[in-house]
Structure 1
């Protein structure tokens, strides 16, 4: 993620506007991060998943999440089995 000062961002708004459409830019004020400018698609994605705590009925979990969930279960199971064997 690119970081620029707020003053620099304002001076070269067009350049950073185009850059922010590709990936987020952190703006700093007095040397501290204060704002992140990000592509609208990423904002919409984040906004739609603001609260990661979501309950799904059986069979409703999105494929991507189900795959991630099963991979983690398999990893945890293998780690548990390895520690039980020791």
Structure 2
């Protein structure tokens, strides 16, 4: 994710909005993350749940994810999966 300062925003609005049209950009203030600027299309996609990456609590985890999780835990319990994966 590209970063700009809030001061850059007033000086480089065209460059920053161009970058935000391609991917979200972080705006910092005093070297700390402050805002994220993104296209409206990206925002709507996120709001509609179009991003497949999601964190679940165990109680709400879909069955297919729970099965994969259990399988991975079993492999780790047998000592597999640490150094044998590329």
TM-score of the alignment, normalized to the shorter chain, above 0.5: yes
- What band does the TM-score fall into relative to the shorter chain? 0.5 to 0.7
Q: Distance in 2 between matches of 1:13 and 1:53?
A: 37
Moved more, 38-47 or 27-36: 38-47
Query: Equivalences for 1:6-85 in 2 at 5 Å?
Result: 6-49=6-49, 53=56, 55=60, 66=64, 69=65, 70-80=67-77, 82=78
Q: Distance in 2 between matches of 1:73 and 1:45?
A: 30
Q: TM-score by structure 1 length?
A: 0.60
Normalized per residue, which structure has more helix?
A: 1
Flag structure 1 segments of 5+ consecutive residues without an equivalent: none
Flag structure 2 segments of 5+ consecutive residues without an equivalent: 80-86
Deviations 1:14-70 (A, max 9, x none): 111111111111111222211111233332233234x855958xxxx6xxx94xx14
Moved segments of 4+, more than 3 Å: 51-56
The count of corresponding residues between Structure 1 and Structure 2 is: 72
